[in-house]
Chains A and B, each alone.
Chain A
Amino acid sequence: MQKQGVNVHYNCRISDVDFEIDSGGNQRWIERIHLETEGGEPKPSIQVRDTDLVFLTIGSIISNASFGAHDRPVDKPAVGSQNLGGAWTLWKKIAARQPDFGRPDQFLRDLSQSRMMTFTVTFRGGLFQRKFVKKTMPECTGREILEELLGHLQFDQDEVEKNEILDTSTCIPCMLPYSSSQFLSRAKGDRPAVVPAGAKNFAFLGQFVEIPNGIVFTTEYSVLGAIHAVKTFVKPSLVVPPMYSGQYHPLTCISVARALFR
């Protein structure tokens, strides 16, 4: 994208946007974008015309991520409203001013339900084996998580081989406090529409917008929102790829039923 000319401004985030509302109260548009560095230093703001476009990603499922290492468990995430990052902070600001922009706090309220851990393994040789680690995942080093994984994969190899895998790989654990926050119970209105009523030059993107029948926690959701925004404001003839609805396929239903009674 950058080679083609897209301007990516690093160490720079949208800290706030100013809305203008017409006298009849029917149309809204963004007329100014406020910018700041990651450290919070203000940068010159940008005037926006009602014919320009602003697509705002609201919320993030990787905010406050904390890492560990192959020989170290994850750090305790520095959870707190001041560390939420641009996408959540901006959403909180604009949602407080306009009633149909959703309720971000609904998705930030229960870390015990929204947190998830991931880990990335780089193998440099060898194969796997069995042995389970008696610790919770956040207490485990990357090496211990990999040992647990090898156990679940039921590789029956000798201790020497297992240790060779563990020694020649790098497993980096990561704690994501808000990873599955889209699944917290919610009510109508907690998520804004991709294009809210009367929006003349703005749309919302990401995992926390309302897309009927969309599947959160998938890349589909983020891409689908973007397609809707581009179709609405720029290219009405854009064809939205049809969503797959497995629940209407008899064979899928049969395999689901089989899985339930397994």
Chain B
Amino acid sequence: MEKPVDSSVKVYLNGLGLGSIAAAMYLIQKADFNPSNIHIFEQKGDTDTVGGSCDASEMIVDDQPAYFMRGSRMFEDKVYPCTKELWSIIPYNDNESCLQDHQKNREECRSRA
């Protein structure tokens, strides 16, 4: 029997990189941690590109929207069990997780190819 999380415990994290985001999501979704006790300190202003290597965002280039991502990551099926579990605990919309959305996109790409 696990003792319940002390509701006064605060967690402090540096940066909005994947490490911090994953820790926060696991605390909230898998450990019933109170989200308002989580503090993330991000050096950039909220209008800047934030999010470590996985920082994809939209920017305006010559009056047109363009995507931009500093890092990049190729995904495949077997090697990413933790990443996929993380996607599964992040809601994409009211009914689906990010993992379900990813799987849907993948099926769609495969059926076109």
Give A43's nearest chain B residue, CB to CB. Answer: B41
Residues B43 and A85 in contact, CB atoms below 8 Å apart: yes
Give B57's nearest chain A residue, CB to CB. Answer: A120
- B-contacting 9-mer, from A96-104, A132-140, A148-156, A214-222: A214-222
In angstroms, how far is the closest chain A Cβ from the Cβ of B92? 14
In angstroms, how far is the closest chain A Cβ from the Cβ of B77? 9
In angstroms, how far is the closest chain A Cβ from the Cβ of B78? 5
Q: Which bucket holds chain A's interface residue count?
A: 35 or more
Q: Which residues of A contact B62 (CB under 8 A)?
A: 70, 170
Residues A242 and B2 in contact, CB atoms below 8 Å apart: no
26 A-B interface contacts by CB (under 8 A): A1-B35, A5-B35, A5-B36, A6-B38, A8-B40, A10-B45, A13-B15, A13-B41, A14-B12, A48-B10, A53-B12, A55-B11, A55-B13, A60-B15, A61-B53, A62-B71, A86-B14, A118-B72, A215-B79, A220-B79, A226-B18, A227-B22, A235-B2, A235-B26, A242-B81, A243-B81
Q: Which 9 A-B pairs have the closest CB atoms?
A: A205-B19, A226-B22, A241-B81, A13-B43, A5-B35, A5-B36, A226-B23, A235-B31, A222-B18
Interface residues of A (CB under 8 A from B): 1, 4-14, 33, 35, 38, 46, 48, 51-57, 60-62, 65, 69-70, 85-87, 90, 118, 120, 122, 124, 170, 172, 174, 176, 179, 205-206, 215, 218-220, 222-227, 229-230, 234-238, 240-244, 246
